[in-house]
Amino acid sequence: MIIPCIDLMAGKVVQLVQGRDKALEADSLAAMLDQFSPFAEIQVIDLDAALGNGSNDALVEQAAARSKARVGGGVRSPDRARTLVVQGAHRVIVGTAAFSETGVRHDFLASIAAAIGRERLIVALDSKDGKIMVKGWREATRLTAEQVLGELSPHCAGFLCTYVDKEGMMQGTDLAWFERLRAATDLEITAAGGITTLDDVRALLAMNVHAAIGMAVYTGRLNLLELASINSGARK
């Protein structure tokens, strides 16, 4: 499945490079939702909530009302996860709060799963230089994605795995890394970060990995009509 991405910051749809530098502001949210309407699911990340700079709840609710949306950003409590579900989120993405300095926060993840249902929970594994990143990709843990997949599996329905090294840079992604992750778990994996070409997309789909695409769509490097056609074929 191909999943177009919407990142929200300061009331606008944006795309960042390496999670830091704003590369562009997109059209209005309504316009983006119209463009993404051929796709079965979209991904919405509230960057302000993720960074502790407020939230874009009204826009999240607008997106979830019009699309089947997996939503993340600033999910640090069961109450926040429940709020996103009430706002219409089909699934909730948890990143930083899933980890402590020493490893996986099992009690926290169990509380999220109890609040919204394990089938709604996706854990984000954002990797740079081989290590899982937290706090808006500003701090590295000692953990690798490969190390924690097994530990996380009882708590969630799948994983959002971002290759941060190339995020937003349109230089391709690390297909070998996603292949290793695919071999390590039977749960759903969604790939993100550096997906630039149709070959990238097809390779991921061939290994039964979803492709979450942002910058390459917003800059026109990837054509939405072509992606929708590939996506339709992949679902058959």
Give per-residue pLDDT as tens, 51-110. Answer: 888 999 999 999 999 999 999 999 999 999 999 999 999 999 999 999 987 899 999 999
Query: What pLDDT is attached to residue 139?
Result: 80
CATH superfamily of 2-228: Aldolase class I (3.20.20.70)
* Domain extents in the chain: 2-228
Give per-residue pLDDT as tens, 135-175. Answer: 776 787 889 999 999 999 999 999 999 998 877 566 789 99
DSSP string, the chain: -EEEEEEEETTEEEEEETTTEEEEE-S-HHHHHHHTTTSS-EEEEEHHHHHTS---HHHHHHHHHHS-EEEES---SHHHHHHHHHTT-SEEEE-GGGB-SSSB-HHHHHHHHHHH-GGGEEEEEEEETTEEEETTTTEE-S--HHHHHHHHGGG-SEEEEEEGGGTTT-S---HHHHHHHHHH-SSEEEEESS--SHHHHHHHHHTT-EEEE-HHHHTTSS-HHHHHHHHHHHH-
Catalytic residue, from 7, 46, 48, 200: name it: 7
| DSSP code at position 168 | T
Catalytic residue, from 46, 48, 79, 126: name it: 126
pTM for this entry: 0.92
21 is an active site residue: no
* 124 has pLDDT over 70: yes
Query: What pLDDT is attached to residue 11?
Result: 92
> What pLDDT band is residue 20 in, cutting at 50, 70 and 90?
low
46 is an active site residue: no
* Mean pLDDT, rounded, for 6-31: 81
Give per-residue pLDDT as tens, 187-197. Answer: 999 999 999 99
Give per-residue pLDDT as tens, 199-228. Answer: 999 999 999 999 999 989 988 999 999 999
